[in-house]
Structure 1
C-alpha cells in the first residue's frame, strides 16, 4: 500500500495532479523549456501583483516583463505576521504552514498553497527515483531534529510511520547513543540514510573508531543522502568508507523546494521545473554562468505566498555547462552572513577559518566536532567537543595558520565543551559572525 502518497492526498495535497504536471514540464526540448520558464516567471509575478497586497506594496509599480527591474526580496522582508503576507483567498486554514530553521539568523513562518507543496513532493520523489528509492517502500534511517514539545514530537513520529522511516536523534551524539543506533541498523533493513550532514559525519567517525563498516551489519543499505549543512570532501570520503555506500548531496530550503540534487552524472542539478535560480552580484546584476554571487530564487508555483527573486542568503556558482532546462550548481560556498571582516578591512569567507582549523584540529581523531565564532574584528573563538583538551602546540599551530592565510594580529580563543549548540531543528552552523558587519 502506498501509505506515503495516500497520507499526502488525505491531507489535501494533490500529489497525483502534481506528478502529472511535473511529467508535462519535463517533456519539452530545450527551446520550448526556455519559453515555459519565461511564461511561468511572468505569470507568478503578475498573480502576486494582482492578488497579494504585501507583495504589491513591497515592489511598487513594476512591469513583470522587465525581469531585472523586479526588486530582490530578503528574509527580513518576511519577518512580519504570516496573515499579512498571504494572497487573497488564502488563510492559515487552507495552506501548508511551516517555519524556517533559523540557522541563517533570520527565521520566519511561511506558507505554500497545497498544489505548490504537492509539487515539492513530486520533485523530491522524482529525484530520489534517480537512486532507485521509493518513498512508499524504501526504508529510511532519518537523522533529523524533532520538536521536544509533546504535541510536536508525536506529530513527527506519526509522520515517520506514514513515511516509512525511523528517526535518530541529532541532539545526542554520544557513543552510547551511537551504540543504540548501531543496534537499530543491525535489526532493521534500511534502504538509505537521509539527514543533516554533521550528525551523520559523527556517526561515521564512531564507526571508524570501532573499525566497523555499516553495510556489513546492514547489507540492505544502498545510499546516504545528506542535506542542510556544508559537505566537505574529506567528510564525504569518511562517510563513504565507513558506511560502505555512495554518498549523495542535496541542497534545499523548506520555504522553497529541493533546490539541487546530485544526479547520476555526479552533477548538482538545479530544480528548474519549479524554481528559477539566478546568481547576482552586490548590485543585483545577473552574473554569467561560472561566476560567484548571491543565490536568488523564484518559486514558480507558490500562489499563497510570494517568493520572487528571493535572496536565500547563500553564495554559489552555476556551472558554465548550465542550460535553462538543466542548470548545474558548480559550487555552494556558504552563507552571505558568514563573512568575516578583519581589522585591516579585508573580508574572508567564514568557511576559510573552518577549513584551516579542520586540517589541524581533527588529525588525531580526538576532536569530534567544532564551530568558530567571530566575537570582535580581531577575536575568534573555537568551541570544540573532544575527549582531551587541545594541546598548546595545536593551539599555536592553528593561530599561525590563520595568520598565514589571513593576516597577523588575530586573537584566537579556545573552549572545550561537552556539547555544541544546535538550532532547534538540530542544524549546526560551522562559522558565524557575532559582530555587526
Structure 2
C-alpha cells in the first residue's frame, strides 16, 4: 500500500479505536465465523445470535409479544407492507430512547421504506462491508470509484469521501465522452483503485471500450463489485478482458445490509451467515423450499435490536444449495433472480439503470409505480398516488424525458393497485419491445 492509502486506513481504525473499537471487534468476529464455518464455536455463536434476537423481539417488540422464541418458525413471515402498516409495533420499547440511524430504500415494490437501526447494527454493517470488500480485492485506503445515481442520494459528504478516498461518479452523466474521461482519470491517477456500482453501468463501460477497439486498460484496478442489479456473466468476462479484474456481484439491501457476495470466478453467492439467518421459502406458501428449488429469499437480521427484522421476505427469489468442497458442505445461494427485471431503454436504444426508479421518490404523493415500455419511444407509467389529482404531471413527464429522450411519448395512468407476480413480487419495469 502507498503512504496515502496507509494513512487513510490508519485514520479509519484509529477513529474506531477512540470510539471503543466496535467495528474492529465485529470485523474479527465476522472473519472468524465466515472463514471457519465448520468450527463448533462458529456454529454455537450463530445459534446464540439467532436465539438472542428472537428472545429480545418476543420480550420487547409489541408485534412479537405472544410468540414463543424457541423456534424461528414460530415467527410470522413479514414484508415491507406489513412493517409499514404496523410501523410502531416493530420497534423495541427498550431501544426507543437510544440513538438510532434511519436507512431508506425504494425497493422493487416501488414504495419508499425506512428502517431504524441501533448504532451497534450500524457498526456490524460497516464491518460486513469492510470484510466482504476485502474478499473482492479492495482494502481500506484504496481510491474507490463509486458509480451510482448520486443525485438521488443525500449526504454526499465531501470530507467523508476524502477520508474514505471515495470518488462519486453519477451514472446518468455517463455518456461516451464521460466514460472516456473516467477511463483517462483512472489511468492517470496513481495508487491502487477499486470500483463499485450498478452492474448495468459496467456493461455500458465495457461496450464503450469495445466500440473504440480499446486495448486492456492499465490502471492498477484491484476490485470491481456490481450492486443493485443482476450481474451478467458476459459483463464479468468483459471486465476481466479490459481491466484484468475478476468482478463479483454483491447481494445486499438498504434496510438490512450485506447479505451475500460472489467469490471471485464463481457464479454462486457465499451467504453472510455471521450477520444473517437466511431461508428460502416456497413461492406458494411459507414452507421451506427444497434444496435446488426456486423460492423466496427470507432473512433474519441478527443485529438490529432497535427494530428487529425477523423472517423478512426481501421480495427477491433465489435458489439455495449445498456446496461440497474438501469433503465439507456449506449452504450457498446458487442463484439470485430477484433483481432480474426487464431493462428499460431510452429512445436511442441505450439500456438505462433500473435506478431510474429512484427519480419517482422525489414525488412524495406517489406511493407505488410501474414503468412499461410499449414501443421504442412510448412509455406507460402506472402510478398509485395518495391524493388525486396529481398536480405535477407536466413536471414529472419533463423530468423523465431528460433520461428517456426528448422524443419520448410518456403516458401517466393512475390506478388503485398494481398486480403482483405469482411469486408475490411487483414487477417495477416491464419492457414489451421485442429484441
Same fold by TM-score, threshold 0.5 exceeded? yes
Query: Does the alignment pair 1:173 with 2:177?
Result: no
Q: Return closer, same or farther for 1:212/1:199 CA change in 2, 3 Å cut-off.
A: same
Deviation at 1:37? 2.9
Deviation at 1:30? 4.9
1:202-241 counterparts in 2 under 5 A?
A: 202-213=204-215, 215-216=217-218, 218=219, 220-241=220-241
The partner residue of 1:432 within 418, 421, 429 is 429
**How far apart, CA to CA, are the structure 2 residues paired with 1:7 and 1:147?**
29
**How far apart, CA to CA, are the structure 2 residues paired with 1:74 and 1:235?**
32
1:5-404 counterparts in 2 under 5 A?
A: 5-6=13-14, 14-23=22-31, 25-26=33-34, 27=36, 29-53=38-62, 55-56=63-64, 61-79=66-84, 85-91=90-96, 94-135=99-140, 137-147=141-151, 152=154, 154-155=156-157, 157-189=158-190, 190-213=192-215, 215-216=217-218, 218=219, 220-264=220-264, 266=266, 267-281=268-282, 282-321=284-323, 326-334=330-338, 351=341, 367-369=349-351, 381-382=373-374
Deviation at 1:230? 1.0
Figure out how many residues of one structure are paired with residues of the other and give that number. Answer: 360
- TM-score, scaled to structure 2: 0.72
Deviation at 1:311? 0.3
**How far apart, CA to CA, are the structure 2 residues paired with 1:234 and 1:120?**
30
3-state SS, counterpart of residue 111 of structure 1? strand
- TM-score, scaled to structure 1: 0.71
3-state SS, counterpart of residue 319 of structure 1? strand
Q: What is the CA RMSD across the aligned residues, in angstroms?
A: 3.7
3-state SS, counterpart of residue 328 of structure 1? strand
Aligned to 2:418: none
Q: Is the 8 A contact 1:213 1:243 kept in 2?
A: no
**How far apart, CA to CA, are the structure 2 residues paired with 1:213 and 1:334?**
34
User: How far does the alpha carbon of each residue in 1:345-365 deviate from its partner, in whole angstroms, 9 at most, with x for none?
Assistant: xxxxx75x66xx99xx9xxxx
What are the ranges of 5 or more consecutive residues in structure 2 without an aligned counterpart? 1-6, 355-370, 379-399, 406-425
Q: Is the 8 A contact 2:216 2:241 kept in 1?
A: no
Between 276-285 and 190-199, report the one with greater CA deviation: 190-199
What are the ranges of 5 or more consecutive residues in structure 1 without an aligned counterpart? 336-349, 373-378, 390-415, 422-428
Q: Return closer, same or farther for 1:263/1:154 CA change in 2, 3 Å cut-off.
A: closer
Deviation at 1:130? 2.2
**How far apart, CA to CA, are the structure 2 residues paired with 1:28 and 1:321?**
13
